[in-house]
Amino acid sequence: MSSFQFEAAEEALRADDWALAREFFDWHPDMEHIIADWERPNGLRASWLNWYHATVDPDHAPKAEPLPDVRVPVLQLYSMNDPYIGPEQLITGREFIKGPFTLKRIGGAGHFIARNAPDVFNRPEGSGSRCPDRPKRGSATLLQHPPPAQ
């Protein structure tokens, strides 16, 4: 992801009719709409690349006061098909959670769970929301797993 911080990223993503972008996001259901948005003047930079440009290099980040521990209930949703976040990243920061913790693994969704699996994401047991269950529209399923031992 750090390669998107460089100025050359915009040209690389646009090259050959967005070949690199299409490969990178080949799973995204709205890829053609995203590319149309990126093709607007300054669209790619304003809607996506500026996020990466603003990311602080952790080797040169200013020191900050530590945040307090989280003492409220935490629900973590994880897509088993996320091409960018691996299962090893699920434990990052867990030591700061002092309240109840629940991990829900979702099968059949990609990186953007709410977009790729709204029928699962919007279930009360999946998101903590008050939305009623929706009819199943896709192949995503909520995989029940007990939280890992702490």
Q: Are residues 78 and 128 in the same domain?
A: yes
CB neighbourhood size of 71 (10 A) = 11
For the cut 90, the answer to whether the pLDDT of residue 41 exceeds it is yes
Structural domain including 85 reads 74-143
The verdict on residue 69 lying in a domain is: no
Structure-token match 């690349």, residue found: 49
Q: Which residue, 27, 60, 93, sits at the end of a domain?
A: 60
pLDDT tier for residue 135 given thresholds of 50, 70 and 90: very low
Q: Are residues 80 and 105 both part of a single domain?
A: yes
Are 55 and 89 in the same domain? no
Please spell the DSSP secondary structure of 85-115, one letter per residue: S-GGGGGTTGGGB-S-EEEEEEES--S-HHH
Q: What is the pLDDT of residue 15?
A: 94
Query: Which amino acid is located at 75 in the chain?
Result: L
- Number of structural domains (the chain) is 2
- Classify residue 18: in a domain, yes or no: yes
pLDDT for residue 134: 35
pLDDT per residue as tens digits for the range 2-25:
777 777 888 999 999 999 888 877
Residues contacting residue 129 through CB under 8 Å, at least 6 positions apart:
122
Each residue's pLDDT tens digit, 76-125 = 888 888 888 888 888 888 899 999 999 888 888 888 888 788 888 888 76
**Whether residues 82 and 118 fall in one domain:** yes
Whether 80 and 126 map to the same domain: the answer is yes
70: tokens are: 């989280």
Please give the Cα distance from 111 to 27 (Å, whole number).
9
* 84-105 residues labelled b (16+ CB within 10 A) or e (exposed): eeeeeeeeeeeeebeeeeebbb
Query: Do 44 and 102 share a domain, yes or no?
Result: no
